[in-house]
Amino acid sequence: MSSVEFWEAKSLEEMTTAEWESICDGCAKCCLHSFIDSDEEEHFKSTDVLREGEELLYTDVICQYSDISTGGCTRYSERQTLVPSCVQLTKNNLKDIFFMPQSCSYRRLHEGRGLASWHPLRHKGSKQTMHDAGISIKDKVVLETQVDLEVEFEDHIVEWPELDKD
């Protein structure tokens, strides 16, 4: 007889607050600076989807409140006050957040792909398998306080945040 884990038995909408919070794998990719490159930059408008001619670009520059060795937020409870653009994922807005990386556990579950084999919930809470798989920000980022993105933007564009593997 095999037991079914809560993330296999429940939809995201059915999860308790504690279950919802535990789905975050702590990769910290959502804390990276990302930008939309648009063919129509003169007419660019804020959006909740990528439109034709637009591309999401990730950088290796991360929020100043990120712990670059663990992927955690050093000011989690006040993050949205300190960084107004910090998006708190909820059951209500998850479907609209197109800029989450493919490996995001919320995105994976929302799209019916299940939790990845490297997810900490599958390893007694340890992030080591995730780090070993190259999914997290560990050893790949620089804090936003250490760069001038106005000048160095193109030097920091990276593709590794798009990595998703199982």
pLDDT in tens, 75-110: 988 998 999 888 888 888 887 777 788 999 999 999
Highest mean pLDDT among 19-23, 35-39, 46-50, 75-79: 19-23
Q: What span, in angstroms and rounded, lies between the C-alpha atoms of 21 and 14?
A: 13
With 90 as the cut, is the pLDDT of residue 42 above it? no
Give me the half-sphere count of Cα atoms (radius 13 Å) on the Cβ side of residue 136: 23
What b-and-e string marks burial along 33-72, b requiring 16 or more CB atoms within 10 Å of the CB?
A: bbebebeeeeeeeeeeeeeeebeebbbbbbbebbebeebe
DSSP H/E element including 143: strand 142-143
H helices of 29-82, where? 79-82
pLDDT for 51: 62
